[in-house]
Every structure is written in structure tokens, then in C-alpha cells.
A and B are shown apart, each in its own frame.
Chain A
């Protein structure tokens, strides 16, 4: 069941205020935390449900309704509903169950038939009506939340910044492209060949640090500035959460703010200037 903003339910459903006012004074919200184990796809999900309608709360307390978190990962074809009578849920998911985009949809669902359901919190338009509710019926829903689970999340920046060639670019120049998968350093075909040869030697020689300073640092600064200008537009990109987490780790401002990204990029790349051979030699 997908969240449909304009869905017309045959009975009153408590939804986010922007998408319906069947319950004008009540709210249903789920605070979801997805915690990843570094370097693996093992994930635990913590949810705190906040429900304010007394009649719906009574149904849950009397075990006639449940909180449900529907987890779907299309990449692994994983699908599971975590059903609970508690407003606080902490569940470990099987390793490798989730990869790529994961959608978490919170609901309140009736767990048995209710013959004459009504709530004092309904909009006056419903008058004194009551509804026959079948078990499984959705009584409340919150907006689904998307997360990206990627085993590359914890790897160096190479998982976020990639390199490709384009014949439209002249030799000696390069530019940045940002798409769903990666932030790309794009250069001419000839330069790209040279770059690949140079990169093959990165681990053999300390001069590899010049690539870090000459390409990766300006690429990251440029990309961060671009993303800051349209963070909402980039929010669904695969790398977004990972990059935002890196900024958080180094004490930087979250994406979408007017921060000094030159400083942030140097922190993320762990002060690359100091690793350049000329600098190191000068210090020796």
C-alpha cells in the first residue's frame, strides 16, 4: 500500500494535516531512526509513535488495533510489517535484508472487526455516523520515509565521487556533474585515460595526494556549494544521506545551509594539503 496524497478513503483516516482533516485536532506521527552497522548492511530500526486521538489510543490499549511499520526494499525484494501494540519499537533486521532505497511506512491498523466504530475526534461532517471496520483496515497513516542503505556508505569518498569522460569537454579542463548515483568529475576522453593511469599509481606513490588536492578537494567544495543551493532537489539522491552524515561527523553544517564548504571539504578529506609530498618534505 503506497501513500497516495489524494486518496479518498471509505472511512475516516487520521493522516498528516496537509493530506486530510478527518481528525482535525489529532495527529499521528512516527519518529524513525535507522541505525546502520558500519561496513555492513545490518540495520536496526527504532520507531517512536505519537498518536493523540483518544479513541484510536483506546483501540490500541484494548489490543483491537496496532501500530504497524511496513518496510519495503525493492532492491532486495524485502518486505516486512513490524506489528506492535507499543508506541516504542526497536527491531534488528536480518543482515543483507536491506540495500538501496528502503521505504518505511507507518500505520495504525485494526486487528479485529469493529462493528460500530466512531470517534469524537472526527470532523463534524461525519455527524453521528459510525463505520463497520474490518480487521486489517487502516485507521491512521503517516508519510512514508525513505532511507538509502549502502554498504559503501562508510567507505572513503570514492563511493560518492566518481569519474567519467565526455567527448564534449576539451583537454585540460574538467567539470562537476551531479546525478542520482554520484557526484562526477567529468573530463575529456584523453585526460580521462591519463587520469586512470595516474589513479592506478595512487597507492604506490605519495604524489597521489596531488590528485586529492587538485581534483577531489575542489570537486567536493563545488559540489557542496551546488547542493547547498538546492538541497531539497538533491534529497532523494543515493549519496545525499551519506554526505550529510559525513558533514555531521566532522561537525559541519547540514546540507542546504550557507556554510564555509572549503573548510568542511578539507575536514572530510582529512587535511589533504598536509599530505602533499612537498609539504611533508618541507616539514622533515
Chain B
């Protein structure tokens, strides 16, 4: 396999380093820099889709390119592109935040191509540290609290990986899988599997770990929150999918546990979505709900379920990264989006469609993914998970309807103050329309995308 397949990774890592260097050299951040970053991301995405069709390994088997990696990397790059396109770079600290976004995406790309526990760990940690750093730069208090949670997750994953290596003697994922399939499941092995997966669940933001992870993210700036909720959680989901493929032999230990966590996330996410009014908080809990659907797909521990989860992962990453920048500042009150449909039509359309997609409302990307997961849950005999998921779906949709109501039907602050006559002209920025178009178009291209997701799940070695 040619090393040109590494060009997308080089571009992403190079962009991160370039932005750091530009900051050190005192280059003034402007919209042109954000535009350049967007172009670099899109070029990386195009190259990934073009060159990523190769299948093979590099660095003596330490790096792998397969259908899973091309699918996963495309998802991360799409999320990153949506983040850059929707971010308000006049008010964001571009030099500090954007490089960390690139690093988080790079972490996800490392996970996507990882063939051993070390690379998997490195990718997850790189993304996780980027998230903590974003929080630390932008809000010290949130950063410190997130750091504690992150240390816990790191400890769980590190101990788990070390124990797995000690028990099986295999550091590669394929070796781990072969050993565990032939080995009898013991209580310590089951416990350590659960411990490792719990570490990843913290990063992913599955309930009950959503509160420390996602609620911290609400306090960040919009782009920071997008990095944490979309790119870091997306990386954790990819790592979970890869690890579950390797831990196939211990599936009796974790499938019920993961199903339970997924159920909890779907129901609690939906319940909280109906109870909250601030747009950023609503977005966070809808993300938790959709993370639950992804986890439910993985809990089926077979190829079709994992494919459905991967198919849903793309809309999740897309909406979770683009959503917070669209919903405004961390201190945004419900009234902040009131009348948004008239003030900023493009942003209102983008925010509305992203919220609807996160809630799984047809005919948007999230619905396609959740429907596919639902069909697989039924086939796998996890009807109880599906029943709870449908309940959460209804609740989440109700929460979104209220937000739409505010955006389109309630008067904005200016209108309340009686400034209807002197209303400013509507703002038509094209950036917010990028995620809107993507969540709308996803369903039209569902066939090839889902096909690629099936091939990706097959590459994980699942049956």
C-alpha cells in the first residue's frame, strides 16, 4: 500500500501545527484563516475518500487502512468541516481553539486506523486531552472539573488495556480477539472488560457518565462545546466499536451492560430534553440520547448492528459538532433563540434541522440512522431497548418542537421592545446552511453510505 494514503492525516496534523505556529508568530487571526482551515479539511476529506479505498497496512502492521477506517475518518472530517463552517470566528479564539479541534479529529483518525491497544489508547487520549485543553483555555473552572473526569476515564482505560494485555499476551486487536474467542470467560476478565468499556463510556458521554462529561461542555464556548460533544465523543464511539470487535469473546459480559447504558441514555436524554429550555442544554441532552442509540446498535454485538451504529455515527458527529455553534453562547437563554427565524434565517434553518436530526425526526439523517438501529435491535431480540428508545424519541422530539416554536413563532427581544419597524435586515450567513444541507441530503445517499458502513463493520471482524 502506498504511503500517500497518509496524506489526509498529514494535512489534519499539519493544519493543527500550522495554526499553533501562526499564533506563535503573531499572525492575526481572521476569517481567511478559518476559510483556509476549512479548505484544508475539505481537501483532506476528498483525499480520504479518493485514496482511502486502498486496503492494507503500513509501519509493520501498526497502521491499517480498511473500510472501517475510511468510513470513520470521513465522519470525523465531515464533523470538523461542519464545525469550522458554522463557527463564529469573530468571537471565538481561533488560534487557540481551532488547532485543538484539528487535534481531536486527528485523534479520531488515529483510532480509526489503530491495530493495537497502544494506538487505540493514544488516539482516544489525544482527542480527550484536546477536549480538556479546550475547556481549560476557555473556562478554567469547567476545564478543571473536566480534567478530573478525564483522568478517571484515562485511568480506567489504561488499567483495562494493561490487564487485557497481561491476560491474553496480545497487544494487537486481532490477537486479542483470537485469544478471547478461544478463552473461557472468567469473572476477572468480565470485570476488566466492563472497567475498560466504562472508561470509554465516560468519554462517550453515555448516561450516567453524561452528566460530568456533557454538562461540563455546556459551559464552554460554542466551538469548544462542539469539539467536546462531537469530535471527542465521536472518537470514543469509534474506539468503542473497535474494542467491542476485539472483545467479541467476552460479549456475554458486556452486551447487557451496554444495552442497559444505552437504554438509560436514550430515556434520560429524552426526559432531560423535555425538561430543559436553554438551547445549548437541549442540544447536549439530545446528543446524549443519540449516543444511546449508537451504543444500542453496538450492543447487538454483530455486524449488522455495528453497521447501523456506524451509519448513525455520521449524523451524530455532524450534528453534535455543528449544533453548539449554531445554538449560540454558553449563557444563551431560551429567549436568545426567540425570533431567530426572522433575525437570522440561515442560522435558524441550520439549528432547526440539526436539532431535528439529533431528535431522530424524519426525514433527516438522524432518523435514517435511528431507524436502522431500531430494525437491528428488533432482529437481535433487544425489543426492550427499542421500546425505551421509542419513548425517549417521543420525548426528545417534543423538546425540539418547543425550541422550533421559540425560533419561529415567538417574538424576538427586539420585537418585544417594539422595534418591529426598525428591525435590522435578516442576516444570511451561508455557513449554518452547511450542516442543514448535509443532514437533509444524507437520506438520499443512504444506500451507498450504509453499504460502506456494512463493509466497515465487517472490517471490525464482527459476524
The answer to whether A and B interact is: no
